[in-house]
A and B are shown apart, each in its own frame.
Chain A
């Protein structure tokens, strides 16, 4: 692996100062960063280890919601009693992510900030709009696992399994910035290439995620998470559907968020409106899954896949409620 220095800041201000000096990257668990260094697509001269900062590795349960520190490991979130009982969809998406070993290592903040899994972006021989060049190789190349929505500028998809469920729960992302702490909702946090092709999240230079809040007011009456992937043991999702029904006890306050089909999690309020308890809600909701899609040469299969997943999610959420 290309050599780098490890800097261990003792406070947030120092972390931000260190990362702005020269060619430096933040390090959380490193399951993505070290991977990219080994694949020669990241080459920091130094890494600023956020794990040396105090207070970012705790889960705090309050009446307003649950605050999850950015450095809490994924497996610690999915096995946390209060997260399980109050936000079970979050735990379900985590246990579909990566492998048990990676879930024991990877952090929540790192999961949200990982780079897309596009095989052109992760190959040192390709320059594209996402790493400072121009164009998108996948559009006319191998694009089986790429996006079918908002894929004109760059067709890579948002790789975080947590991202869609955070959008569905309107999670608050708390960010450490030079001017103090600022907050974004999850749907503001994840951005597409039209905002800035070089970034997938709205973190400015030097900023990092401190913690994430799951608001009590968005607890689901019932829920489902359905994901399709090629390999069952572990794999990246080809498409996923996160469904929350009757959030906060409000009848009809549903959320449908699609994952792995677009550069940012894709909320579909048109599908939400079709979930009305009628006999044909599954046909109606899944029927419009492909509205607005612009599939590429090899990924048109994602539309029927989404239809199936939406149907499965509605059935699963309805039976969970009745059960």
Chain B
């Protein structure tokens, strides 16, 4: 195959206003850079992860105008005028988002690399559907791979966060799902 000298090619630079997590940012970048590259390298928002870079793993998922998309396959130059939400924008004031809280309480992350993408996908799901069935959660997460957890705690975390967001105070995740200390008001398990 013919080898191309990439360094010799002039990079077309642009300067764009991107709206990320509700704040406008003026950012300069090469026009062929993905949103993922610009978020991480120009804006230092490193919560969004580089995974396969080919649209197969979902770990780079961010929300654009509320919908989950893959930042590795979206050119940043196409994002002007659209609202971008990353995992850094999930907290509500100084409080964790209920999904973040539930994931932490249930240990729904092991290595944690897929977690930002899964949180974003789940956030979009719960905003559209506050009481999803297990099948609906599984379908929504079809594009987010996790190689550690086996998904059970992730699914239970989303169920619990959904209940919290609906104000369903009676909902309790399965006892065996709870990691470490018991939940407030619960007895420690024998294990």
Contact = CB atoms under 8 A, between A and B. Distances in A.
A104 B1 CA distance: 34
Report the interface size class on chain A.
Answer: 20 to 34
Contact of B75 (A30, A39, A43, A124): A30
Contacts, number: 85
A105 to B, nearest CB: 5
Contacts of B143: 98-102, 233-234
Interface in B98-145: 121, 138-140, 142-143
Interface residues of B, number: 32
Given A3-B11, A51-B78, A100-B142, A43 B4 contact: yes
A233 B142 contact: yes
Contacts of A45: 9
B32 A101 contact: no
Given A1-B32, A100-B143, A102-B55, A124 B70 contact: no
Contact of B77 (A6, A31, A75): A6
Nearest to B33: A1
A125 interface: yes
A104 B67 contact: yes
Contact of A101 (B121, B138, B139): B121
Contacts of B9: 2-3, 45
Contact of B139 (A2, A100, A104): A100
A233 B145 CA distance: 9
A35 B53 CA distance: 8
29 contacts: A1-B32, A1-B34, A2-B6, A2-B32, A3-B10, A3-B12, A4-B31, A5-B12, A5-B31, A6-B32, A6-B77, A35-B55, A38-B53, A38-B54, A45-B9, A49-B78, A51-B78, A99-B55, A99-B58, A99-B143, A100-B68, A100-B143, A101-B70, A101-B143, A102-B55, A102-B70, A102-B73, A104-B69, A105-B70
Given A5-B31, A34-B75, A101-B143, 5 more contacts: A1-B34, A31-B73, A34-B34, A98-B143, A100-B142
Interface of B: 1, 4, 6, 9-12, 30-34, 53-55, 58, 61, 67-70, 73-75, 77-78, 121, 138-140, 142-143
